[in-house]
């Protein structure tokens, strides 16, 4: 599994190109030849950038779903809607497709935030708003998600 670290503030130009910070670009080097997949997020108003190896693993998991169940088929269609293959050019720029910029409401100020094995791409204002909205509940969320003390029986 890939592990990407960091949160970076960047700027997008009029064409939707974002220059990756050197620290992030260096982490992406092992995946550059494979390419990347960019898509809208399921839960947040942002985009997600997957290294191709991570995307392939996710598609393998989705491919196990029975496509003769309507809810599975509907989910797969919606999950993959607007998905694009993208590359990071030799100068370290990522071109975000215009339709996805519109979907995520991305302006000139952009935040690239690692989410373990992917990178979330946010409009800076939206990112700060989501962090602020979830700040007060974060302690409870952390306890619920990470607070298993090992006593539970699976």
**pLDDT digit string, tens, across residues 110-128:** 999 999 999 999 999 999 9
pLDDT in tens, 19-37: 999 999 999 999 989 999 9
**Considering the domain 7-146 in this protein, what is its CATH number?**
3.40.1550.20
- Residue 152 CA to residue 148 CA, distance in Å, equals 7
- Residues 79-103 have a mean pLDDT of 94
Name the pTM for this structure: 0.89
Averaged pLDDT for residues 82-109: 95
Is the CB of residue 96 less than 8 Å from the CB of residue 12?
yes
Closest by alpha carbon to 24, among 5, 10, 50?
5
Q: Which residues lie across from 38 on neighbouring strands? A: 49, 84
Please provide residue 93's backbone torsions phi and psi, each rounded to the nearest 5 degrees.
-100, 140
């Amino acid at each position: 599994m890939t592990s990407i670290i960091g949160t970076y503030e960047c700027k997008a130009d009029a064409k939707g190109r974002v220059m990756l910070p050197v620290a992030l670009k260096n982490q992406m080097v092992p995946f550059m030849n494979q390419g990347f997949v960019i898509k809208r997020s399921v839960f947040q108003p942002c985009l997600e950038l997957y290294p191709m190896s991570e995307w392939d693993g996710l598609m393998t998991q989705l491919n196990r779903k029975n496509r003769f169940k309507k809810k599975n088929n509907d989910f797969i269609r919606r999950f993959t809607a607007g998905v694009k293959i993208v590359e990071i050019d030799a100068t370290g720029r990522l071109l975000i497709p215009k339709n996805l910029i519109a979907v995520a409401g991305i302006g000139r100020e952009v935040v690239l935030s690692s989410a373990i094995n992917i990178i979330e791409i946010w409009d800076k204002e939206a990112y700060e708003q989501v962090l602020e909205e979830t700040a007060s509940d974060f302690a409870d969320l952390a306890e619920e998600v990470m607070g298993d003390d090992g006593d539970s029986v699976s």
